[in-house]
Amino acid sequence: MASVRVCAIAYDYYPFETILRRTAEAGVRAEYEYHVICSMEEGRKDGKRKRYEVFNGVHVHYVSMRCIIGKSLGLMLLSWSLFALLAFGKVVRLHLKHKFNVVHVHNMPDFLVFAAFVPKLFGAQVILEVQDVSPELTVAKVKGPLRSIAFWLATWQERISTTFANHVLTVGWPFEEILLKRGVPQKKLSSVLNSADPNIFSLEKRTDPFLGEATAERPLILMYHGTLAQRCGLDIAIRALVKAREMAPYLRLYIRGNGEAVPYLKQLAQELKVTDYVVFFPFCLPDEIVNFVAQGDIGIIPYRSDGFMDLLLPTKAYEFA
């Protein structure tokens, strides 16, 4: 029997979420018994909805709902709350069977940490991983007079969630500084920087930079992968490509990912008549992202400056490097 038994909870799809998957598989390599409770994947290739599977040694337990991305804040709150309730019931049943030592909760939302109430009551240590600071992200999404109320509510739920957790992890100094200012004790807070997974982005996969003359047969490929939301600025990149092609006609833009902005971005590419040069690829596993990056020439991260995105140093920056 494993000496350490861990249960991770995330409102996301496994194994597509990079940090969640990397942490879980690192636990398996350390000979931990690792379980993940997550949302059910949408559009499985086999057309089936699995309740449980083992993926690379990780026990994955699917909650019978799909996560909602990019909808209204009210709908998101409703979906988060429903998932938290379903995850609460599932973690209780699993804990009675496996007796978890650690429950590792990945936000958003922060209040998902309360799904670990019963394991904590019986002695499990609870970690809250703040991958995004909720108040700043909420304000970036909410417009109009409700912004101040939304910020206050997001700050309040963050405070009670970080208080409930035994330890808080985050992804770098900008978030760490904010959490410290909002009252999380230094001894309770640790940072683990985003980085490229060396098991996937290995040195053998690296390619030499393209320094030749771009041609129709060998264009210069700009690339982006990850979330496709309005705040990520891909519409800026598409408009910039139109201007750049006036002087550099052999530029292409490859985009791989998913999000609420996909329909708008495709429509914009049609309106600007660049569908031959802006190519959209479906979301994929991290194992496949490395091949996408290796085939491109220049990685771009055209994030908007909105107070939240300014705080990010995304994993894709390391993956491009």
Tell me the pLDDT band of 140, cut-offs 50, 70 and 90.
confident
* Domain 5-191, classified CATH 1.10.1040.10, yes or no: no
Asked if the model's pLDDT at residue 48 lies above 60, the reply is no
Q: What is the predicted pLDDT for the residue at 147?
A: 86
As given in the structure block, the two tokens for residue 120 are 């904590």
Q: What is the predicted pLDDT for the residue at 43?
A: 46
Asked if the model's pLDDT at residue 220 lies above 80, the reply is yes
245-272 b/e (C-beta count within 10 Å ≥ 16 → b): eeeeeebbbbbbbbbebbeebeebbeee
Q: What is the predicted pLDDT for the residue at 313?
A: 86
Q: What is the predicted pLDDT for the residue at 107?
A: 95
For 146-156, what is each residue's pLDDT tens digit?
888 999 999 99
Look at residues 132, 99, 126, 131 and name the one whose alpha carbon lies nearest to residue 113: 126
CATH dotted code for 203-320: 3.40.50.2000
303 contacts 231 by C-beta, under 8 angstroms: yes
Mean pLDDT of the 164-175 span: 95
Return the SS3 of 281.
strand
Q: Cis peptide leading into 109, omega within 30 of 0? A: yes
Mean pLDDT of the 87-108 span: 97
Mean pLDDT of the 3-28 span: 94
For 293-317, what is each residue's pLDDT tens digit?
999 999 999 999 988 999 998 999 9
Q: How far apart are CA 156 and CA 184, in angstroms?
A: 13
- HSE toward the beta carbon, residue 136, CA cutoff 13 A: 18
183 contacts 219 by C-beta, under 8 angstroms: no
Q: What is the predicted pLDDT for the residue at 42?
A: 58
Q: What is the predicted pLDDT for the residue at 1?
A: 60
Q: How far apart are CA 276 and CA 219, in angstroms?
A: 12
Q: What is the predicted pLDDT for the residue at 40?
A: 81
75-105 b/e (C-beta count within 10 Å ≥ 16 → b): ebeebbeebbebbbebbeebbeebebbbbbb
Q: What is the predicted pLDDT for the residue at 49?
A: 62
Residue 54: count of CB within 10 angstroms of its CB:
9
Look at residues 103, 81, 82 and name the one whose alpha carbon lies nearest to residue 92: 103
229 contacts 137 by C-beta, under 8 angstroms: no
194, 198, 203, 206: CA torsion to nearest 10: -50
Q: What is the predicted pLDDT for the residue at 70?
A: 63
- 192 Rama sector, left if φ>0, alpha if ψ -120 to 50, beta otherwise: beta
Q: What is the predicted pLDDT for the residue at 294?
A: 94
Tell me the pLDDT band of 64, cut-offs 50, 70 and 90.
confident
Instruction: For residue 263, give every residue at least 6 positions away whose Cβ sits within 8 Å of its Cβ, in sequence order, or none.
Output: none
Mean pLDDT of the 237-254 span: 97
For 28-42, what is each residue's pLDDT tens digit?
999 999 999 999 865
Q: What is the predicted pLDDT for the residue at 215?
A: 96
Tell me the pLDDT band of 71, cut-offs 50, 70 and 90.
low
Mean pLDDT of the 140-149 span: 83
Mean pLDDT of the 71-77 span: 80
Across the chain, where does the E strand assignment appear? 5-10, 33-39, 52-55, 58-63, 102-106, 125-130, 167-170, 189-191, 220-227, 251-258, 278-281, 298-299
Tell me what percent of the residues of the chain surpass a pLDDT of 90: 78
Q: Which helix (H) or strand (E) covers residue 87, if one does?
A: helix 73-98
Tell me the pLDDT band of 239, cut-offs 50, 70 and 90.
very high
Q: How far apart are CA 127 and CA 122, in angstroms?
A: 15
Which of 56-60, 77-81, 303-307 tops mean pLDDT?
A: 56-60
Q: How far apart are CA 26 and CA 302, in angstroms?
A: 31
Q: What is the predicted pLDDT for the residue at 27?
A: 96
For 257-274, what is each residue's pLDDT tens digit?
998 899 999 999 999 999
The 3-class secondary structure across 39-61, one letter per residue, is ECCCCCCCCCCCCEEEECCEEEE
Mean pLDDT of the 179-202 span: 94
**Where are the domain boundaries for CATH 3.40.50.2000 in the chain?**
5-191, 203-320
207 contacts 321 by C-beta, under 8 angstroms: no
Give me the chain's average pLDDT, please: 92
